[in-house]
Amino acid sequence: MIAALALLLSLLAGPAGATAVATGAEPADPPPMAGRVVVLDAGHQLGNHNFPAQINAPVPAGGFTKPCNTTGTATDGGYPEATFTWQVTRQVRARLRDLGARVVMVRTSNRQDRWGPCVDERGRAGNDIDADLKLSIHADGSYAPGARGFHVIAPTARPGWTADIAGESASLARDVRRGLVRVGLPVADYIAGGDGLDVRGDLGTLNLSDVPVVMVELGNMRDPGEARRMTSARGRATYARGLVAGVRSYLW
């Protein structure tokens, strides 16, 4: 009798020895951002200043041309915008991947011997894969006295260019602003309107996008307090948390 019972239990056991009798356990839920595609554009490139001819060459920017790229700004201590945006963007990528998203990086290096991509390539990134959104990450370099804080730029509704994505981009901008405020970052006090939101029609990165897109200036690198935050690992993690919170809010 005992031997027969043991045989029955062994037949019911799974690979790890657990019985195969239904326990009522539900299958694990998929990650919250599974199936989502996010394009991240880390502003500029560390070596842009070494390639003036290339970055000054005109490229399409949405019905007009603009220089391919710029060198970006820096803190008064020499910490480059390109490095700041690269380090923050990599943290955003890691956090989004942990949430199950597919993340596409427009810029894939931060090197002195490289330049670009140009703004037209940045603007079109994600169009061919029907990405859910694109986030272009920058920092400002204003010399206005006391200028500090972040602002989020959405494309204006330009017929034939961005009219079809302007509404969703504005919604994304509001969610990104909310995410950055929630982690304690100040809204820019030197941008018209004072609400941390701006709308522009002169940026190729926005004009050439077919998916919802915003560009965020995370702060003013010329402000001593913001420079301290940007040059610290803890500060960069704060920026990344705020951006991810904004993306999650938009996609949910």
- Tell me the sheet residues that pair with 152: 197, 216
Residue 228's contacts (CB-CB under 8 Å, 6 or more residues apart) are 235
The token pair at 197 is: 């939101």
Q: Do residues 86 and 45 touch, judged by C-beta distance below 8 A?
A: no
Residue from 142, 145, 135, 137 nearest 75 by CA: 142
DSSP conformation class of 33: T
- C-alpha to C-alpha distance for 242 and 185, rounded to whole angstroms: 8
Task: Give the active site residues.
Answer: 217
Strands 213-220 and 133-140 come out as parallel
